[in-house]
């Protein structure tokens, strides 16, 4: 069996699990950014492609590989894979659902706290000798404790639920919105309550995004969305940049219709210097915290993800049913 990985070879080698299947296959590694022609030259007869979450696997590549049986995302996201093209050829597409829930939840909570406590502004003030001036201003202006906040989850899959579990001991009131409400027992276990999206936006101090990128969710966080949020509301996005209309977020921050944003993801990725969110006015920029899309990339996540991947490849080799199939 020939397995082609698209991403970092160093990462592939580091997290390769000690399983019989990893010693039985022919492994070819290509770096992220390799063209279709490069990939086809490297492994034209690949049975499996393992692609990092932002490496495209498009229709041309899929149709040009006659032996391809499985495309596996290295992470949870699979929006860079042409699922319809794979389905048309009967090729399975799988992801590593749930493996990053805890680490992304940590990132979400960190961004919430950094926004509430104005962490970047504080860091700069200390470095520039303005510590007391900012401290005095913050004591007059006030800031909210996380435990006093109502947090709303837009989408409530594994990551949203993990975030709720982390927040519950803080005493936060928590609302969520998803297509189908949870049963009452599970709501009580997590300390959450279902709300319509409009009610959630109007009520919550912090709105945390946890939906996948689909035709329905792409750009859903738009001007109308921000108009329904509280003017002192905080937006946290650890999902995907494509969910947010970035021009609308720029307008909301510049106009002060929301207070701040904590963003682990922008679009496109890699982030370019002409992205409107990295070109805000100084006043608006002081109310935004960026992290470099590292919410889900802790070491433990990669060990779990790569074990999931290779166990699935072993299932494929044995003719067994695959787990975490998305098509």
Active site residues: 240, 269, 293
Terminal-residue alpha carbon distance, the chain: 21
- Rounded CA-CA distance 124/149 in Å is 26
- Rounded CA-CA distance 196/181 in Å is 10
Helix (H, G, I), strand (E, B) or coil at 318: helix
Give me the sheet containing 192-194, strands edge to edge. Answer: 192-194, 173-177, 150-154, 206-209, 234-237, 260-263, 288-290
- Rounded CA-CA distance 77/57 in Å is 13
3-state secondary structure 98-119: CCCHHHHHHHHHHHHHHHHCCH
Of 302, 314, 313, 307, which is closest to residue 11 (Cα–Cα)? 302
- Rounded CA-CA distance 21/256 in Å is 55
Share of the chain residues as helix, strand and coil, in percent rounded to the nearest 5: 45, 15, 40
Distances (CA, A) of 4 to 23, 36, 77, 84, 93: 14, 12, 18, 20, 14
């Amino acid at each position: 069996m020939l397995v082609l990985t698209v991403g970092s070879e160093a990462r592939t080698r580091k997290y390769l699990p000690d399983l019989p299947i990893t010693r039985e296959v022919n492994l070819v590694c290509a770096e992220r950014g390799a063209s279709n022609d490069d990939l086809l030259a490297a492994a034209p007869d690949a049975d499996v492609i393992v692609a990092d979450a932002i490496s495209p696997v498009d229709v041309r590549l899929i149709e040009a590989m006659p032996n391809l049986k499985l495309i596996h995302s290295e992470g949870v996201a699979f929006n860079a894979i042409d699922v319809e093209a794979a389905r048309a050829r009967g090729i399975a597409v799988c992801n590593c659902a749930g493996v990053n829930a805890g680490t992304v939840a940590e990132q979400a909570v960190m961004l919430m706290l950094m926004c509430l406590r104005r962490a970047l502004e504080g860091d700069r003030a200390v470095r520039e000798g303005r510590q007391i001036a900012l401290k005095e201003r913050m004591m007059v202006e006030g800031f909210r404790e996380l435990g006093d906040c109502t947090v709303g989850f837009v989408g409530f899959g594994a990551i949203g639920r993990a975030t709720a579990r982390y927040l519950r001991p803080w005493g936060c009131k928590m609302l969520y919105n998803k297509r189908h409400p949870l049963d009452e027992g599970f709501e009580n276990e997590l300390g959450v309550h279902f709300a319509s999206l409009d009610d959630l936006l109007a009520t919550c101090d912090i709105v945390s995004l946890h939906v996948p990128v689909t035709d329905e969710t792409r750009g859903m966080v738009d001007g109308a969305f921000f108009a329904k949020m509280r003017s002192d509301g905080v937006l946290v996005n650890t999902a995907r940049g494509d969910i947010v209309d970035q021009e609308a977020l720029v307008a909301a921050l510049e106009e002060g219709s929301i207070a701040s944003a904590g963003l682990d993801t922008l679009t496109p990725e890699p982030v370019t210097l002409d992205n409107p969110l990295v070109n805000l006015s100084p006043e608006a920029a002081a109310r935004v915290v960026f992290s470099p899309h590292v919410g889900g990339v802790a070491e433990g996540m990669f060990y779990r993800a790569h074990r999931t991947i290779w166990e699935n490849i072993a299932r494929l080799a044995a003719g067994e049913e695959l787990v975490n199939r998305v098509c």
